[in-house]
A and B are shown apart, each in its own frame.
Chain A
Amino acid sequence: MRDRKRNDRKPKQYPRLTHPMVRDNGELRRATWEEALDRAAAGFARTTQEYGADAFGMFSCARSTNEMNYVAQKFTRVVMGTNNVDSCNRTCHAPSVAGLSAAFGSGGGTSSYQEVEETDLIIMWGSNARFAHPIFFQHVLKGIHNGARMYAVDPRRTSTAEWADRWLGLNVGTDIPLAHAVGREIIHAGLANTAFIERATSGYEEYAAEVEPWTLSVAEQVTGVPADAIRELAHAYATAERAQMCWTLGITEHHNATDNVRALINLSLLTGHVGRYGSGLQPLRGQNNVQGGGDMGAIPNRLPGFQDILEPEIRTKFEAAWNTVIQPRYGMNLTEMLDGIERGVLRSVYCIGENPAQSEADCEHTIKRLEMLDHLVVQDIFLTKTAELADVVLPASASWCETEGTATNSERRVQRVRKAISPPGEARDDIAILCDLAARLGHDDWKYADSEEVWNELRAVSPDHYGMTYARLEEHQGIQWPCPSEDRIEPTYLHGRLWEKDPARRGMPAPFGPVKHSPPVDLLDERFPIRMTTGRRLDSYNTGVQSSGFASPMRRGEYIELSPEDAATYGVEAGEEVRISSRRGDVTAPVWIDPGLRPGLAFMTMHFPDEVDTNQLTIEATCPIAGTAEYKATAVRIDKPAVSV
């Protein structure tokens, strides 16, 4: 039986925002909607006038509907005239999108949940789906009961790993050496799918040269995974008839995250495990609409329908549809925008439903940056730490249950979001607020009768969504993109074209990514000898603003989880308060002992930042391609707190 000692520490509960607020003399006070909207708009107009369009940035919301994200990015591009729009996809799966689109030209997972039930081999790489994506894991369990084998690759022996045929416990940040060793073994064992490689891929020779040094024994030294286990994984993956490669933030929250993703995609190209029913790549997304936010163009480099801003014909199409001029260059992503604040180039931010003051790595630094802004407007359902810093706070409706619209899940399924309850007090729908602000900034023609009108506007400019009317979404319980026709449903998997015999139909070959190993930035040394990694627990979510609202019997607050060996080494016991310090900050938390951790590895979550602010420890070393920070690899030390006198 599990030990579930609980204590009395209650996480902070957030009451809903019920009225707008503005800042006067340094204090937030209640305001009318008129006053708050006037102030919000005036601030945006002022900074744009003084510093130009690119002084504005939009933090859109991966938790809100597709329709809201479409209007938010249109507001950014048409009303404010910049491409500086992004969302918290940057803190999790932007590298998956970057990696997948570099290889296949499209940033979505290539398979569907049902295919996991009907595959032969499932690899869960850097994913504790049993906790973080429990209902996806039910599909994995169906697959396992149907006879599929499962391999878990994770530094921690997680509850996902408990279901695995084999657990490969690698050292944090050695995913590329492990993937390369698997690739090399497949090549040397003669198990590479040469027909597929020749027909459907490019860059194989360079890839083969890149992985050549990663022999099983070298990889064993670097990753800590026994050579035998690496060989077994390689043979199992290469010889399976169908195989699913699934990953989560263990791959993407690293400074070289896009390279990590490319390393996994390489294995699918090497074996032909992509573009067929049951064979594919599944990045498991962390927010209800992080896929859709990007699909809707709420990212700095793509217009709605994941269409590239740099393509002149694409821009022309949108310029005609929106009666505007779109800047022919990428905007700043979230990471660059935060940096831009510090450099004084970004002066005003419109933050919708995001909490960067607590979600960003090295959050003290982020708060300082947000305080430097001339004008910060926060639109949220709670007075979050970020909202406390705002000049104007606008109370919004909770999109998942107080608005109509759609959201897109990890398997690219667009599903209807429906209004079940009315928002409290004066809280209003996000889209209505955006339109009111647009009107104050010279676009008084922005009127949408309902979310379906927004959706139909999006369908007209996005071929991948064209066939999805609200009526069809209802009829089919959601439809996966691409869906270009109103008469057809496309296959559940992407990139079947790679298997076409006719080169013209096969299209662009998928390039291997010859990526190199780069160890975590935050090095271990004598002062900071413990590798701390982060993740989610089953009953809590992100910065805890939502999940603190219900009384989970399993919730136990924040702990630093240590291996039994390390606890013995440092002479600490379960429940004992210790100080955890990194090169950036320190926090105190009680000790929890988890035999699933290997010596030298510690674990914390970010669920209780008001209690233990884990992101004071994490490093803001970001992926240069996707901008995601290395939440997964922090060097820390553990000390008994000094006895107070």
Chain B
Amino acid sequence: MTTVPKPVPVPVQLGLPRRLVEFALDDEPVRVPEGSTILDACEAVGKDIPTLCYGDTLTPKNACRVCVVEVEGARTLAPACSRKAEPGMTVRTDTERARHSRKIVLELLASSVDLSTTPHVAGWIREYGAEPDRFGPDAATVADRAPKVDNDLYVRDYGKCIMCYKCVDACGDQWQNTFAIAVAGRGFDNTISVEHDAPLTDSACVYCGNCIEVCPTGALSFKTEFDMREAGTWDEDAQTEATTICAYCGVGCNLTLHVQDNEIVKVTSPHDNPVTHGNLCIKGRFGFQHVQNRD
């Protein structure tokens, strides 16, 4: 006979109030709450650091190295997104060494991945003087991978994937806990995949689209956006955004509706929202079509 183990009550610890930490950022003193990262401090004082694999709702993965800064006394450059601020440290964000490192990262990524829909990257390439073409026309690339269009809701275009792992983390234990996707393959051939590289429709995917929400390059996109880009009608400048409340249940998720020509073309959710933290379910993310079945 098996005996049921008696539950042992262990209280879950609540967080303690945080102290402030002072350090030097580009020769200016800054004070941030204990536990903040260098990137948090940069954002607080309005300093622009490029990021790709960093996600404001995710634990840093340190995959892309584009946000590196120089910490005095440290042997290597530190990723600003994950390096915690410590009292008395001296950080420089714009040294020759940091700029050079960012330039190389951008050159390697831009030569091997289609970054045409990655926000801000064209500006960074100019700013850091990166020359992605310098590896020549034979440089290895994944940009020629065909987009995977296997359902009516969203498209996976892995020619645009920089392997930042954000979608895997959002699908996994950090938010959705569905675990439909993981990294498959080794070396240059590694890729994000569902089990057995099956179509999404034969996978564990529940179409919450929380992977699209965190994707930094547009590798994952709404089918509506993908189709409009193909047709040349996608025009972000002509789009408006309004944040409203989802109509599908009583949880009260905040939906940001992206609208072009009076049509909802994409749905996101504010990452700092106390209800969603940027996450939605299939109904909130994709269930808008009923209001625009207009004829």
Contact = CB atoms under 8 A, between A and B. Distances in A.
B274 A114 contact: yes
A141 B208 CA distance: 16
B12 A148 contact: yes
Interface in A372-405: 381-382, 398-402
A288 B252 contact: yes
Contacts of A138: 175-177, 277, 279
A228 B9 CA distance: 17
A493 B282 CA distance: 29
Interface stretch (B96-104, B125-133, B141-149, B240-248): B240-248
B124 interface: no
B81 interface: no
Given A135-B279, A284-B251, A546-B248, A401 B288 contact: yes
A138 to B, nearest CB: 6
Contact of A409 (B152, B207, B275): B275
Contacts of A400: 244-247
A1 B294 CA distance: 38
A421 B291 contact: yes
Nearest to B177: A141
B270 interface: yes
B201 interface: yes
Q: Which of B242, B251, B274, B286 has the most CB of A within 10 A?
A: B251
Contacts of A286: 249-250
Contact of A539 (B207, B243, B245): B207
Q: How many A residues are at the interface, by size bracket?
A: 35 or more
A547 B173 CA distance: 28
A541 B10 contact: no
B115 interface: no
A420 B291 CA distance: 11
A18 interface: yes
A15 B291 CA distance: 8
B220 interface: no
A549 B176 contact: no
A149 interface: yes
Given A2-B204, A16-B291, A541-B283, A422 B262 contact: yes
A507 interface: no
A536 to B, nearest CB: 9
A324 B288 CA distance: 41
A1 B274 contact: no
Interface in B160-200: 173, 175-177, 195-196, 198, 200
B207 A420 contact: no
Contacts of B152: 550-551, 553
Interface of A: 1-2, 4, 13-16, 18, 63, 113-114, 118-120, 132-136, 138, 141, 143, 145-149, 163, 228-229, 232, 235-236, 239-242, 278, 284-291, 381-382, 398-402, 407-411, 413, 415-422, 424-425, 477-478, 538-539, 541, 545-554
Given A416-B244, A478-B252, A541-B249, 20 more contacts: A15-B295, A18-B295, A114-B274, A118-B12, A133-B249, A134-B281, A228-B4, A235-B7, A239-B9, A399-B247, A400-B244, A400-B247, A401-B242, A421-B263, A539-B282, A541-B287, A546-B247, A546-B248, A549-B289, A550-B286
20 contacts: A18-B295, A113-B275, A229-B4, A235-B6, A287-B250, A288-B249, A291-B250, A413-B252, A416-B243, A420-B244, A420-B259, A425-B294, A478-B252, A541-B249, A546-B247, A546-B287, A552-B282, A553-B151, A553-B200, A554-B206
